[in-house]
Amino acid sequence: MQLLADTSGLEVHVPDSAEIPARGAALFGAVAAGVFEDIASAVAATAPATARTYAPDPAARAIYDRVYAIYRSLYETLGRSEVELLHGLKRIRAERKSG
């Protein structure tokens, strides 16, 4: 979950429930039975508490953004050697260790 938060730059909220798929099926069943008007109101009325929230780490996000930029650069200029990609990744790692 931390990796998802870091790469997306968004908070990830993990519900306090071990049965999320079963809960979804039950909510759709409740909507079909007329207990709730629509799925949005069913979710709002029965939302479980948040067990944990993962906040993005801006420093990690910056590194992931740099790695992705190297990947995109390689992808967009097919024919560029993999050696250049590896050197770019090595620079990021060296900077991280020294900083």
For the segment 1-44, what is each residue's pLDDT rounded down to a tens digit?
999 999 999 999 998 888 888 988 999 999 999 999 999 999 99
Whether pLDDT at 83 is above 80:
no
Residue 89 is assigned to a structural domain of this protein: yes
pTM greater than 0.85:
no
For residues 96 and 38, the model is more confident at 38
Number of domains within the chain: 2
Residue 1 lies in a domain: no
Beta strand 12-15 with 50-54: parallel, antiparallel or unpaired?
Answer: antiparallel
Cβ(1)–Cβ(56) under 8 Å?
no
**How many other C-beta atoms can be found within 10 angstroms of the C-beta atom of residue 10?**
12
Whether 2 maps to a domain, the answer reads no
| Same domain (yes/no): 47, 63 | no
- What is the 3-state secondary structure of 4-51? HHHHHCCCEEEECCCCHHHHHHHHHHHHHCCCCCCHHHHHHHHCCCEE
One domain, residues 86 and 64 = yes
> Residue 96: what pLDDT?
85
Query: Could you read off the pLDDT of 38-67 as tens digits, one per residue?
Result: 999 999 998 888 899 999 999 999 999 998
User: Distance (Å, rounded) from C-alpha 11 to C-alpha 74?
Assistant: 30
Asked whether residue 50 falls in the same domain as residue 78, the answer is: no
